[in-house]
Amino acid sequence: MEQPLKNIDNQSAVSAFGDAARFLRAVKYKGLLIMLDEAETMPSAGRSGMEQSFLNLVMLMAFCRQRQDIYCVYATTPYFDHVFSAQLRALGVDEGLKEWLREQYQASQIGLSIPDSRTLLQLASRIYGIYEMAYERHQLPGRSWLATQSEEMVSRMTTGDSTRDFVTGVVGRLDRTLQ
């Protein structure tokens, strides 16, 4: 029986992402999407763990920058930007990469518009479909209830609201019906 990989070095990991992206392109996908969430928890890894985590992230971002078939998205808070900038200085990251990272961060600060109501209602219907698979159908309210609830939420949305707020609202209302 083959042993699972325990420690993969940076170069092997980056190479594996490249191989995965090439495979996806070969089967007619546009490439590989890497999504990172909770990046701001890196400082909790301790000093040496944090430095290695930042180095890994910088290496991944630099690699993504060179590729047309690998897309890297990371969700962070403004606190992370402050810590990450300080860490980049401490690690001596090259100025070109720092500027590119700054541009990426600024681009990510652009607010996303709320999708049109038809798209949000379709999203609510898909969420309902997931609930149908997860729970017995008789436990759920009917689709007409969902449509009414969703239309009400859409009508109350303001420019400060996001798609995430809408999804949270739909899930919250469905969860309350199951209690």
The neighbour count for residue 40, using CB atoms within 10 Å, is: 18
Per the CB < 8 A criterion, the answer to whether 71 and 31 are in contact is yes
Whole-structure pTM value: 0.46
Mind listing the pLDDT tens digit for each residue in 67-117? 888 877 766 666 666 667 777 777 666 666 666 666 655 555 444 456 778
Rg of the Cα atoms in the chain = 21
Per the CB < 8 A criterion, the answer to whether 70 and 63 are in contact is yes
Position 6 scores a pLDDT of: 59
**Percent of residues, the chain, with pLDDT higher than 90:** 2
Position 110 scores a pLDDT of: 43
- Mean pLDDT for all residues in the chain: 75
Burial 15-27 (b: 16+ CB within 10 A, else e): eebbeebeebeee
Query: Which of the four pLDDT bands, split at 50, 70 and 90, describes residue 58?
Result: confident
Position 75 scores a pLDDT of: 64
53 pLDDT above the threshold of 50? yes
| Secondary structure letter of residue 8 according to DSSP | -
Position 40 scores a pLDDT of: 64
